[in-house]
Structure 1
Amino acid sequence: MIFEKGELFCGPGGLSLGALKAKVTGKNGELFAVKHKWASDYDPAAVETYRENICKPNNYDPKTVFQKDVRELKIDELEPINAFAFGFPCNDYSLVGEKKGINGEFGPLYSYGVKVLASKEPQWFIAENVSGLESANEGQAFQQILNDLENAGPGYMLTPHLYKFEEYGVPQTRRRIIIVGIRKNLNLQFKVPAPTHGPGNFVTAKQALEGEPIPEDAPNQEPTRHHQRVIDMLSFIPPGENAWSEKIPPALRLNVKGARMSQIYRRLKEDAPSYTVTGSGGGGTHIYHYRDLRALTNRERARLQTFPDKYDFKGGKEAVRKQIGMAVPPDGAKVIIEAILKTFAGIEYDSVPSKWSVNSQEKSNSELELAMQEIAAASEK
């Protein structure tokens, strides 16, 4: 069975690359796979990247990728699909910033995913957002989003989970909420795939960056130019520590008052996964090498996100950094989508319980509220 996927907020195509790599052979030899149907994003550089790396190698029409604000997209006129993905904008749900949640400019944009579900009635969907989503607006935003997704169109059985991508072979401690929904009338229940990695076999930053040399002609490999003062400061910061290290001489320390972000000039540890790759932030937030006195290149950041070296991100250096930092790691997406395909193929796989259930037929509203409180408490630990 080949699923034709539509996608909103597609970014540079991390989730789509993972979807294209996910293939399952059913019990009778039938192939279960995903192909691109259409995608949309407002960022012109990300759209160009998607067309270059997802459409071009697979002979998909680049005109099926729309560069448009989702609020201007005519959803009812989009081609039919039976699979859907959307990593709705996380700006208002992030744990940093103003945290406006569902009341912010970007918070309500998930509703366009709900409109796609109502209009196209795909057999399954996958939605992605930052871990801060569950605590936004004191948990009410997350509850509303789950309720709206469950009741969209024909109705969906939801399996939301807080995935730790380092537990699935991604060389980065990246935590994201992934919501998988399967149409209720199909009577299929998705299960969270069991982690494949843990302490002792995590993929480390060194393995990701040095396992194979980066080809000399690889794109997005431009170095960052540092002031000598930054280089001098980095020379005193041990791997794993940041700009607040006590080993930095007073003359080289940053003059910062108030909150001190832990990722400022933080150097990687070579024997552990990277800290989270981000797509925004000023000086000191670019991720710093464990051995060399420098920030990583965009190509190296892309390796931490599990993009192949040939994946050519379009746009200027900062536009590329933004795309890489906001993308879904393809290898992580592949694991989850393979589990979806196995669910449809009737193939058992190792799984772990989701930490909470949200389908109305399984939980009353009071139980749902209790679950939300448990999630919020766990995230603070």
Structure 2
Amino acid sequence: MDSTKDFTYKPKIVSIFSGCGGLDFGFHMEGYETVWANDFAEWACKSFAANFGDVIRYKDITQINPYKDKTIPECDLVLGGFPCQDFSIIWKQPGLNGTRGGLFRHFAEFVDGKKPKAFVAENVKGLLTANGGKAIDTIVKDFESIAPGYVVKPHLYNFAEYGVPQFRERVLFVGIRIDTGFDFVHPKPTHGPNGYLPYVTAGEALVGVEQVSTNNELINIKEKTKKMLELIPEGGNFTDIPKDNPLYVKGMISHVYRRIKRDEPAKTIIAAGGGGTWGYHYPEPRPLTNRERARLQSFPDNFIFEGNVTEVRRQIGNAVPPVGVREVAKRLRPLFTGDYKPVDLMPEYEKMKTMTIKQRLEYVTAQMN
């Protein structure tokens, strides 16, 4: 065996905008180790610490200087989901003009300051169209400009196609430092019609969940809500309530009073919202518990969430499904163990810099086939 290869090495992660740790956990499942993390949500930090140990710092990232802060260790990989509220298709899209959208630049500063071999950044599908496409174009160009240069490959994932019992679309940016010569290609789907395994269904994911003691409190609901749910079939939502029924409601978005369909993945689990947005069980007329929501997000039962019911809901809904990123973590691992043949990345780097975002996305997808 080549002496430069170390198949036992645990690649070191610096994680920012870490939340409760869904993205990190997916990489830990493939042998990585988070050595430093940061978030500005207190209870999310407590959950992260409960599952990963005392490596997370509860602090405003705008008050952290990755160039000068000597407490931040060197790393192989910078990982994180920079705030997405200003890019989400659910809300208006100020994008880079929003106070939160601009936080992605702090992610870029961490990459610039630590110079990892690679980075992985996650965001919502709405980023692809925010600011008429200018947001994602600016983000990619900022990442590419970090010396000595990074080949940046964005791809839209549907995590149900990678073993998550939930249809959840998210953009993953994978950046590879040019001088590594590592030819990264996004992994093909493993599940569903484009994979070699069937989807993991909501029904399969929830088997035996009632036996789990942690984060599994039943949510109190009004009798009126229960009666509404009894009018909604499996897989349906508020639109299934007959218009002539006194309980009929209108003018709502599709995830309101949405019930699971047991023979397919769940629809997207969301982090917050008013009445009717919890996600609902079938056949029982009730909201999903947080542990059921965590199962649909592919968290194991021994992953502990700290905080009250509403706070835990927020953490679960904001998280990256850990199982969904395992294939990416697996595909990147040879970069850190040395088990690959280097290539000259400069031609691809120069070629991609001339592409529009649409062309880049098409190019990245074509590489997978």
Task: Using the TM superposition, give the Cα deviation of residue 52 of structure 1 relative to its aligned residue in structure 2, in angstroms.
Answer: 0.4
Task: Using the TM superposition, give the Cα deviation of residue 344 of structure 1 relative to its aligned residue in structure 2, in angstroms.
Answer: 4.8
SS at match of 1:66: strand
2:125 maps to 1:136: no
Cα separation, 2, equivalents of 1:103 and 1:279: 23
User: Do the aligned partners of 1:158 and 1:359 also contact (CA within 8 Å) in 2?
Assistant: no
Task: Using the TM superposition, give the Cα deviation of residue 360 of structure 1 relative to its aligned residue in structure 2, in angstroms.
Answer: 4.7
Question: Which residue in the other structure is 1:324 paired with?
Answer: 316
Summarize the alignment of residues 154-303 of structure 1 with structure 2, pairs less than 5 Å apart. Answer: 154-199=148-193, 201-210=198-207, 212-216=208-212, 218-247=213-242, 250-254=245-249, 256-257=250-251, 260-303=252-295
Cα separation, 2, equivalents of 1:221 and 1:140: 42
Cα separation, 1, equivalents of 2:163 and 2:228: 32
User: Do the aligned partners of 1:119 and 1:153 also contact (CA within 8 Å) in 2?
Assistant: no
Distance change (3 Å), C-alpha of 1:369 and 1:266: closer
**Aligned equivalent of 2:307, options 315, 334, 359:** 315
Cα separation, 2, equivalents of 1:166 and 1:268: 15
The letter of the residue matching 2:268 is T
Task: Using the TM superposition, give the Cα deviation of residue 48 of structure 1 relative to its aligned residue in structure 2, in angstroms.
Answer: 0.3
SS at match of 2:96: helix
User: Do the aligned partners of 2:235 and 2:260 also contact (CA within 8 Å) in 1?
Assistant: yes
Identity %: 37
Cα separation, 1, equivalents of 2:137 and 2:57: 30
SS at match of 2:240: coil
- TM-score relative to the length of structure 1: 0.85
User: Do the aligned partners of 2:176 and 2:184 also contact (CA within 8 Å) in 1?
Assistant: yes
Cα separation, 2, equivalents of 1:284 and 1:126: 34
Question: Which residue in the other structure is 2:328 paired with?
Answer: 336
SS at match of 1:75: coil
Task: Using the TM superposition, give the Cα deviation of residue 4 of structure 1 relative to its aligned residue in structure 2, in angstroms.
Answer: 1.2
Question: Which residue in the other structure is 2:80 paired with?
Answer: 86
SS at match of 1:261: coil
Distance change (3 Å), C-alpha of 1:154 and 1:214: farther
**Aligned equivalent of 1:9, options 17, 31, 34:** 17
Question: Which residue in the other structure is 1:51 paired with?
Answer: 49
SS at match of 1:36: strand
Question: Which residue in the other structure is 2:63 paired with?
Answer: 72
Mean Cα displacement is larger for which, 170-179 or 71-80? 71-80
SS at match of 1:192: coil
Cα separation, 1, equivalents of 2:130 and 2:241: 35
User: Do the aligned partners of 1:237 and 1:248 also contact (CA within 8 Å) in 2?
Assistant: no
- TM-score relative to the length of structure 2: 0.88
Question: Which residue in the other structure is 2:103 paired with?
Answer: 109
Cα separation, 2, equivalents of 1:5 and 1:296: 33
Cα separation, 1, equivalents of 2:362 and 2:184: 22
User: Do the aligned partners of 1:124 and 1:180 also contact (CA within 8 Å) in 2?
Assistant: yes
> Unaligned 5+ residue runs, structure 2?
1-8, 341-346, 364-369
Cα separation, 1, equivalents of 2:19 and 2:90: 21
User: Do the aligned partners of 1:219 and 1:312 also contact (CA within 8 Å) in 2?
Assistant: yes
Cα separation, 1, equivalents of 2:214 and 2:139: 38
Distance change (3 Å), C-alpha of 1:7 and 1:364: closer
Cα separation, 1, equivalents of 2:108 and 2:182: 20
Cα separation, 2, equivalents of 1:374 and 1:341: 25
2:92 maps to 1:98: yes
Task: Using the TM superposition, give the Cα deviation of residue 330 of structure 1 relative to its aligned residue in structure 2, in angstroms.
Answer: 0.9
Question: Which residue in the other structure is 1:361 paired with?
Answer: 350
Task: Using the TM superposition, give the Cα deviation of residue 362 of structure 1 relative to its aligned residue in structure 2, in angstroms.
Answer: 1.4
Question: Which residue in the other structure is 1:152 paired with?
Answer: 146
Question: Which residue in the other structure is 2:114 paired with?
Answer: 120
Cα separation, 2, equivalents of 1:318 and 1:261: 21
Distance change (3 Å), C-alpha of 1:346 and 1:198: farther
User: Do the aligned partners of 1:219 and 1:299 also contact (CA within 8 Å) in 2?
Assistant: yes
Mean Cα displacement is larger for which, 335-344 or 302-311? 335-344
Question: Which residue in the other structure is 1:306 paired with?
Answer: 298
Task: Using the TM superposition, give the Cα deviation of residue 342 of structure 1 relative to its aligned residue in structure 2, in angstroms.
Answer: 3.6
The letter of the residue matching 2:318 is M
Distance change (3 Å), C-alpha of 1:314 and 1:370: closer
The letter of the residue matching 1:116 is F
Deviation >6 Å, runs of 4+: 372-375
Task: Using the TM superposition, give the Cα deviation of residue 371 of structure 1 relative to its aligned residue in structure 2, in angstroms.
Answer: 2.5
Task: Using the TM superposition, give the Cα deviation of residue 2 of structure 1 relative to its aligned residue in structure 2, in angstroms.
Answer: 2.7
User: Do the aligned partners of 1:237 and 1:247 also contact (CA within 8 Å) in 2?
Assistant: no
